[in-house]
Amino acid sequence: MLKLQTGDALSKRRFLPPAIMMFRRKQKRVLMVVESFARGGVERQILLLSEGLLQRRYDVRVFELTGVVPGQANFEAELKQLGIPLWNSTLFAGAQSDAKDVEMPLAPFVSLLPANYLATCRALANAIADYAPDVVNGWSDIANVMGGFVAGAADVPRIVIGQRVLPPPFWYGEQLSALYRQAYRRLASDPRVTFVNCSATSAKEYEKWLRLTPGTVKVVYIGVSLPIGKSGQSASPADCRARFGLPAHARVVGGLMRFAQEKDPWLWIQTAAVIAAARPDAAFLLGGYGHGTIADELFTKAKELGLDGRLAMPGVIDELGPFYGAMDAFLLTSRTENLGNVLIEAQAAGVPVVAPAVGGVGEAMRDGVTGRLVANRSAQSLAAEVLDVLGDDHWRARAAAKAPGFVARKFGQRRMVKETIAIYRSGCIEA
């Protein structure tokens, strides 16, 4: 029941926007729209946010637009453990009575979308009609365009456009970037739409690119579930290293990534080789996955560079504690990062980080305190900082002690959930 301080409540309710009145009736249903629920940083954030929403009695569903590549690692089991259904277009296929409401808004942007976009969007419209969410939250460019316009046509009262990477000009050519800009500007004109980014650096880039008023794109830093790794499990570093076949007394440099071009796993291997040449006691732990034979190719390259017997590549990492618990330093080599979930996780586990100064990476650490920010993204420069970290036991111990507190303050899961709920509820009258 609405609580209004003055005047007649019923008469004042007539002047509330219909979307707000709809939100006030239910308040608790959120539909996450994602391109695929693969095993990545974005998907991990969906899990953590969904977990927090469930604790606050929200109802959550996830709609996967395209699905993962066969054999690709995913988070479907973890989603199922939370009791959240993973929906797809097959489940909601069928006639859509208002097909034009879906087709017309998307018509100018067909070249941005998968070939079967119309059937997928109609299925999403059916899911929205069946579920009646109060919020539709997109999590990637394709999900934002498809989910944003379909949710708008379906009169969803709150639409969140989650921009988790740098603006499209970084990823696409001029023509597609121009179309994305047109689509995002059209979505920005809808008062139900809120743009959210996980890095202040990227938020400013989007505002500049879209010519939006500063502050239009809201910043909600990612959240991590604490504790992680060294601060959250009793196994010793030696036990953790043994789990991956690494020497108990080695100085271990770790990494975790999708083996994709933007993450530059080849530079990671090259940097490891430079470190290995300078420190015979260094060993390396690189977790992650990639399409095709890329993991085998990386391992072969590592052997050619002299890392045979010193590098463990365990594939997909299901347990973060032992993984981070084995490390003395964490190395990131990405060409770009909006923020870097793995940097946050590593620091939360008490592991100092070394990373290039790209994207919003500088926001993810306290440079010189919990990590090292490297201006020159080269194997020699990155290796030099890692070697300095490995060679300074006192600095590393101080960084390990301060990093979890830094993460808890800036990147705690509860804060992320609270700030996201505030955006879901923005413009709504409190009960």
Claim to verify: residue 106 and residue 219 sit in the same structural domain? yes
Q: Residue range 317-322: average pLDDT? A: 89
**Contact at 8 Å (CB) between 45 and 411?**
no
In angstroms, rounded to a whole number, what is the distance separating the alpha carbons of residues 109 and 106? 5
325 pLDDT higher than 60 = yes
Same domain, 238 and 150: no
Contact 39, 10 (CB under 8 A): no
340 vs 420 pLDDT, higher one = 420
User: What pLDDT band is residue 7 in, cutting at 50, 70 and 90?
Assistant: very low
Phi then psi dihedrals of residue 38, to 5 deg: -75, 175
CB 246 within 8 A of CB 236: no
Tell me which residue range forms the domain holding 309. 229-411
If one counts the domains in the chain, the total is: 2
Higher pLDDT, 39 or 221: 221
Residue 22: band (very low, low, confident or very high) from pLDDT cuts 50, 70, 90:
very low
Looking at the structure, tell me whether residues 160 and 40 fall in a common domain: yes
Residue 78 lies in a domain: yes
User: Is residue 14 a part of any domain in this protein?
Assistant: no
Q: Is residue 5 part of a domain?
A: no
DSSP per-residue string spanning 265-283: HHHHHHHHHHHHHH-TTEE
- Spatial neighbors of 297 by CB under 8 A, at least 6 apart, are none
Gap between the Cα atoms of 152 and 125, Å rounded: 10
Range with top average pLDDT, 83-97, 234-248, 362-376: 362-376
Say yes or no: 112 and 244 in one domain: no
Percent of the chain at pLDDT exceeding 70: 90
In this structure, the answer to whether residues 276 and 326 fall within a common structural domain is yes
Q: In this structure, are 276 and 219 located in the same domain?
A: no
pLDDT of 27 over the 80 cut = no
> What is the token pair recorded at 306?
């002299």
Query: What pLDDT shows up at residue 366?
Result: 97
Mean pLDDT, to the nearest integer, of 267-276?
A: 98
Q: What pLDDT score was predicted for residue 429?
A: 30
How high is the mean pLDDT of the chain? 88
- Check whether residue 160 and residue 280 sit in a common domain: no
Residue 234: band (very low, low, confident or very high) from pLDDT cuts 50, 70, 90:
low
Residue 333 has pLDDT above 60, yes or no: yes
Residues 249-268 have pLDDT tens digits of 999 999 999 999 999 999 99
Determine the Cα–Cα distance for residues 40 and 170; give it in Å rounded to an integer.
19
Concatenate the DSSP letters of all residues of 155-207 into one string: T-SEEEEEE-SS-GGGTS-HHHHHHHHHHHHHHHTSTTEEEEES-HHHHHHHH
Which residues have C-beta within 8 Å of that of residue 338, sequence separation ≥ 6? 164, 165, 166, 197, 198, 199, 201, 202, 359, 360
For residues 384 and 370, membership in a common domain is answered with: yes
The backbone region for 71, taken as left when phi is positive above 0, alpha when psi lies in -120 to 50, beta otherwise, is: left
12/208 Cα distance (integer angstroms): 39
- 420 with 396, same domain? no
Q: Tell me, what's the pLDDT at 94?
A: 75
User: Is it the case that residue 5 has pLDDT exceeding 60?
Assistant: no
CATH number at residue 168: 3.40.50.2000
Assess if residue 10 is contained within a domain: no
Q: Which residues of 335-363 are buried (b: 16+ CB within 10 A; e: fewer)?
A: ebbbbbbbbbbbbbbbbbbbbbebbbbbb
One domain for residues 341 and 194: no
Query: Does residue 89 lie within any of the structural domains?
Result: yes
Instruction: Write down the H helix ranges in 31-94.
Output: 41-55, 76-81
pTM: 0.82
With H, G, I as helix, E, B as strand and everything else as coil, classify residue 247: coil
The predicted pLDDT at position 98 comes to: 60
Based on the fold, state whether residues 233 and 197 are members of the same structural domain.
Answer: no
341 compared with 25, residue with greater pLDDT? 341
Q: How many whole angstroms separate alpha carbon 179 and alpha carbon 171?
A: 13
pLDDT of residue 247: 95
The yes-or-no verdict on residue 237 having pLDDT over 80 is yes
301 plus 191 within the same structural domain: no
Classify residue 13: in a domain, yes or no: no
What does the pLDDT look like over 381-411, one tens digit per residue?
A: 999 999 999 999 999 999 999 999 999 999 9
Place of tokens 């989603």: 79
Read off the DSSP letter of residue 226: S
Let me know if residue 2 belongs to a domain. Answer: no
Residue 39 maps to a domain? yes
